[in-house]
Amino acid sequence: MKLKFVLALLFAGVFLLSVPGSNAQATAEPTSAQAPTPSQQQELDKDVHLLRQDIRAKKKKLIAANLQLTADQATKFWPVYDQYTADLVKINNAKYDLIKEYAQNWGTMTDDQALSMLKRSLDVDAQVNQLRQRYVPIFNKVVPGKTTATFFQLDRRIQSMIDLQLGSQLPLVQDQE
């Protein structure tokens, strides 16, 4: 279980981006308390890496399909977008690590562990917001203000859908008891 449901969570994010109108109603319940072997963990990490790449590719396609850019704007915009995404990936690595830790501690999580994960999760959210704030003027140098605002609207909407799907798949902490 423990880390299999992590893969299911990230798969849900890919599914969400590829199916219009999908909703987040299912809840993944852990099925086993057995820790994965190192080779199973490596395989899971590889699968998650591929899924995250797929999510990023689908996100980029959604942005491209919904953001009206001239050819000149696109030439300037996409390199900034790629750097923004690379910086966001670094932050999201911490989010993935928290999900793995949550799964690994499921069923035996202490109050202190739960609070620590909560605080670190809030820190990750704050880092994402700081990144967005840092990139607003950078994007605004290459595209007009309305385009910059539209990009961040799209970015937040897509991320909110992914977060909703992931969150709906994580069992509540209190349910482990």
What's the pLDDT band for 29 if we cut at 50, 70, 90? very low
Question: Is 16:161 a contact under the CB 8 Å cutoff?
Answer: yes
CB atoms within 10 A of CB 141: 9
Question: Would you state the pLDDT for residue 41?
Answer: 62
Instruction: Look at the block and give the residue holding tokens 């590719």.
Output: 57
pTM (2 decimals)? Answer: 0.73
Between these two residues, 135 and 101, which has the higher pLDDT value? Answer: 135
Indicate the DSSP class of residue 32: -
Q: Does the pLDDT of residue 97 top 80, yes or no? A: yes
Question: Would you state the pLDDT for residue 47?
Answer: 63
Between CA 136 and CA 152 the distance in angstroms is 8
pLDDT tens per residue across span 46-60? 666 667 777 888 999
Q: Percent of the chain beyond pLDDT 90? A: 46
Residue count of the chain: 177
Between CA 87 and CA 77 the distance in angstroms is 15
Between CA 132 and CA 10 the distance in angstroms is 23
